[in-house]
Structure 1
Amino acid sequence: MKLRAPAPEHFTSRLRGVATTARVGTWLGICFGLCFLTGLVSHYAQNVDQPVPFPTSPAWGYQVTQGLHVISGTAAVPLLLVKLWLVYPRLFQRPPREPRRLPLEALERGSIAVLVASGVFLLASGLMNAAQWYPWEFSFRRTHYAAAWLAIGALLVHIGVKLALVREGWAERPDTEPTEGGGLSRRGLLRTTAAAAGVAVLATAGNTVGWLREVSAFAVRSGEGPQGVPINKSAAAAGVTETATAEDYRLEVAYGATTVSLSREDLLALPQHTEELPIACVEGWSATGAWTGPRVRDLLELVGAPAESTVEVISLQESGPFRASTLQGNFAADDRTLLALALAGEPLDLDHGYPARVIAPNRPGVLQTKWVTRLEVPA
């Protein structure tokens, strides 16, 4: 028996058509665009060398953009699956015979191939990152960023090639006539697709929107954790359980030849300030807490460093990509940037960075360094 590839006419579902494809494709494009823009914000916020400093206000800015990033990416999953189902018969369509049409056809199919491959990679790896499962050796952040540019470039090419057809699709009203056997109509398919995207959003939005946590079955953080704030890495995982609780702990603040060494008791003797600030992580979850401790700029004054100095923050953690972070000058000078010693009115939990951690407004959670042992201002 000889096997033959199916032809486009073998796919007879009435649900496929320009009206349904244009609408689902537009929704998917909006999700991809929103995910891309908020991803750029996150990538920029984590860069050390920024031509324009990342703003410290509003304090909840990164919390919102990163929540939108994960929510829009999650909503794109069912939209992408339906879009692929609507258009995959075109994979079996033979190229046109007219030579002048071949370049446009090649451009269209090439952009689709890149868009589908990068889109699937972005959504799959993004969901794994949200779940903190990394079955790969490459840098997630750099690879995800590069794939995002591939996806958005291919999307723009695809839109340019298909713009006339998209307009035609939106001008056509999807019919309400069900398929044979009483199945879905085209309008029913659109409603079902929109509902699936909505359910996906509700199932994960509780990571960011606290009052949705009861219905967000797939939210990777329930909102529970020490002192009411979740954690990503425990003190045991960071290998700092003994050093963080040692009696001889000291915080060093250094500027040029001047160094001040402070015990936790010394830090508690300084003027204490309390700020309501969120911890917002790249995985999309966030939680707000009342943090108390001395201002970082007050600590810099002890060694005569300018208020807007760039500060290298070093943790007791001996290894890992975020054992140290760079606190840019505008963050160091902000009154809300603290070396937190307490959370919710209680001494900082060990897993939240005891004896001291940095907390600053509108900053990615991975840069809010825990178990701080040194603040160093480059001379």
Structure 2
Amino acid sequence: MRSTAVAARVGLVLGVCFAICFVTGLVSHYAQDVAQPLGFPTSPAWGYRVTQGLHVITGTACVPLLLVKLWTVYPQLFRRPPRGLRRLAVEVAERLSIAVLVASAIFQLASGLANVTGWYPWAFSFRPTHYALAWVAIGSLVVHVAVKLPLIRSALGADVDEGLEQEGPPGALSRRGLLGATWAAAAVAVVATAGNTVPWLRKVSVLATHTGDGPQGLPITRSAKAAGIEPEAVGAAYVLEVVRGERTVTLSREDLLAMEQQTRTLPIACVEGWSGTADWTGVRLRDLIDLVEAPLGSDVQVTSLQQRGAFSRSVLQGGFVDDERTTLALAINGETLNLDHGYPARIIAPNRPGVLQTKWVTRLEVQA
């Protein structure tokens, strides 16, 4: 079973999953980058939900695929080196490139799964490290495929059982059986986690880190307590500042409720792979920015009351600010926002990463 025929077929599917995971990861990284040369699109509203869901699902599918792939080929890493300086140099270079590929792939999958569960047993920043190693992994994968392409094409073009000198003992797993078990394991991994994104799979997605449960029918990743929200900050003294240059408009929550309200049905999708849809009611963000006469296309920095954790500030690019669906939400599904969902007010915008849908908003500042 440790054959080129098996390794090539598992490697093909693994490569496709890695490629999808890499591309969707780039989309997520770009969506979180405040210095975008081209503004991230606001439509379709569910776009980020799909791409990030695919990212986590294909990344999870890679785990059993990579394990089987390594099992089929690892004896080759310990075979006797060839004689001759040139052949030896080529062999060493190839094995080193494979070592880089394997190490980076394992790191990406392990750190990605840890991120999905919200477990960070390391001191480095996850996002830039994961992004940098993604390029290492995909680059070494491309080099590996280029080197092995003739062998891969030959193996895929032949029958999977070609080259077998004899059949195994009765009851032994065959090459086809191993491949079938591998596809089944990958499918189980997908179904067991896809409920994070696909609601109708939640009852069978036993490995999904979020069941869809939470205050007002939506999960949370950071509670008000974890964010260090002080009760007095969200009480009667709460105000929202809308700022442009020297001009400042101050609004209480009652003032916000007195403004024209809109209700938008929008998904919220987190980088951890979970997502959900809700009816968000509040003030159109553009109406708030118009109070300080901000021109169309203006970026807005959003500041939260949170005292701990990342993303206490985010920048809404002009495209999001001007989109009529972007809302400073005061209620969710017909109920006043729960404190853990961002009471007194939070941002909800279409096709935007959940970490940037800032909660406990206290300041909107138009960027010069």
What TM-score bracket applies, with the shorter chain setting the length?
Answer: over 0.9
- Structure-2 separation of matches of 1:210 and 1:259: 43
SS in 1 for 2:225: helix
CA drift at 1:110 = 1.6
Q: CA contact under 8 A between 1:244 and 1:355: conserved in structure 2?
A: no
Q: CA contact under 8 A between 2:346 and 2:357: conserved in structure 1?
A: yes
1:291 equivalenced with 2:280 (yes/no): yes
Q: Tell me which residue corresponds to 1:7.
A: none
Letter in 2 for 1:171: G
- Structure-2 separation of matches of 1:168 and 1:251: 66
Query: After TM superposition, where is structure 1 displaced by more than 6 Å over at least 4 residues in a row?
Result: none
Q: CA contact under 8 A between 1:129 and 1:283: conserved in structure 2?
A: yes
Q: CA contact under 8 A between 1:339 and 1:358: conserved in structure 2?
A: yes
- Structure-2 separation of matches of 1:329 and 1:309: 5
Q: CA contact under 8 A between 1:301 and 1:307: conserved in structure 2?
A: no
1:131 equivalenced with 2:117 (yes/no): yes
Q: Note the alpha carbon deviations across 1:290-347, whole angstroms, 9 max, x for none.
A: 1011111100011111132100100011232211101111100000100000000111
Q: CA contact under 8 A between 1:312 and 1:327: conserved in structure 2?
A: yes
Q: Tell me which residue corresponds to 2:328.
A: 339
1:372 equivalenced with 2:361 (yes/no): yes
Q: CA contact under 8 A between 1:325 and 1:367: conserved in structure 2?
A: yes
Q: Tell me which residue corresponds to 1:260.
A: 249
Structure 1 residues not aligned, in runs of 5+:
1-14
- Structure-2 separation of matches of 1:307 and 1:242: 36
- Structure-2 separation of matches of 1:254 and 1:315: 14
Letter in 2 for 1:96: P
Structure 2 residues not aligned, in runs of 5+:
none
- Structure-1 separation of matches of 2:232 and 2:351: 29
1:38 equivalenced with 2:24 (yes/no): yes
- Structure-2 separation of matches of 1:179 and 1:361: 56
Letter in 1 for 2:229: V
Map of 1:126-275 to 2, 5 A cutoff?
126-175=112-161, 179-275=168-264
SS in 2 for 1:336: coil
Q: Note the alpha carbon deviations across 1:250-275, whole angstroms, 9 max, x for none.
A: 00000011100001110011111111
Letter in 2 for 1:72: T
- Structure-1 separation of matches of 2:175 and 2:202: 33
Q: CA contact under 8 A between 2:306 and 2:360: conserved in structure 1?
A: yes
Q: CA contact under 8 A between 1:300 and 1:307: conserved in structure 2?
A: no
- TM-score of the two chains, using structure 2 as the length reference: 0.97
CA drift at 1:358 = 0.4
- Structure-2 separation of matches of 1:179 and 1:307: 71
Q: Tell me which residue corresponds to 1:57.
A: 43
- Structure-1 separation of matches of 2:62 and 2:23: 15
Query: Matched residues, percent identical?
Result: 66
Q: Tell me which residue corresponds to 2:348.
A: 359
Q: CA contact under 8 A between 1:260 and 1:303: conserved in structure 2?
A: yes
Q: Tell me which residue corresponds to 1:320.
A: 309
CA spacing shift, 1:90–1:115, aligned 2, 3 Å: same
CA drift at 1:107 = 3.0
Q: Tell me which residue corresponds to 1:11.
A: none
SS in 2 for 1:234: coil
Number of aligned residue pairs: 365
CA drift at 1:241 = 4.2
SS in 2 for 1:235: coil
SS in 2 for 1:318: coil
